[in-house]
């Protein structure tokens, strides 16, 4: 039986690229907080420090240069996975840049 952690792992592996992945991400943080509070009440967890809590919510974003953005916009025929490996940019960022470029 899959729980919210398994769903989050699967969404993470596909880099949150499918439609329902945003809801899976929100659900994970809500359920994780609930489980942490329950574990504190029952004594399984004594406390969580502020630094750990902040680190758990930290999501690193890479800055994409204009040169890289232009390459992504002009290379629609190249699969996103290949560009991601070559340019060291997430697949979801490549898809977002391409969608914005198409909608211009």
Query: What are the angstrom distances between the C-alpha of 35 and each of 45, 97, 103?
Result: 10, 36, 41
Q: Cβ neighbours of residue 87 under 8 Å, at least 6 residues apart? A: 68, 71, 72, 94
pLDDT value of residue 57: 63
Which range among 1-10, 23-32, 48-57, 84-93 shows the weakest confidence by mean pLDDT?
A: 48-57
Cα(91)–Cα(3) distance, rounded to whole angstroms? 25
**Residue 75 burial by Cβ neighbours in a 10 Å radius (0-12, 13-18, 19+):** middle
Per-residue pLDDT tens digits for 24-73: 999 999 999 998 888 888 888 777 677 777 776 665 566 788 999 999 99
Query: What are the angstrom distances between the C-alpha of 61 and each of 7, 51, 66, 68?
Result: 22, 19, 16, 15
Confidence of residue 84 (pLDDT cuts 50, 70, 90): confident
CB distance 90 to 16 below 8 Å: no
């Amino acid at each position: 039986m899959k729980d919210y952690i398994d769903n989050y792992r699967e969404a993470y592996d596909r880099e949150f690229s499918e439609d329902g992945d945003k809801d899976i991400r929100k659900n994970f943080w809500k359920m994780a907080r609930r489980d942490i509070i329950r574990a504190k009440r029952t004594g399984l967890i004594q406390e969580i420090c502020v630094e750990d809590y902040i680190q758990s919510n930290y999501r690193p974003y890479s800055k994409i240069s204009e040169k890289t953005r232009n390459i992504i916009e002009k290379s629609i025929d190249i699969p996103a996975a290949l560009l991601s490996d070559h340019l060291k940019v997430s697949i979801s960022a490549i898809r977002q840049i391409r969608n914005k470029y198409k909608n211009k």
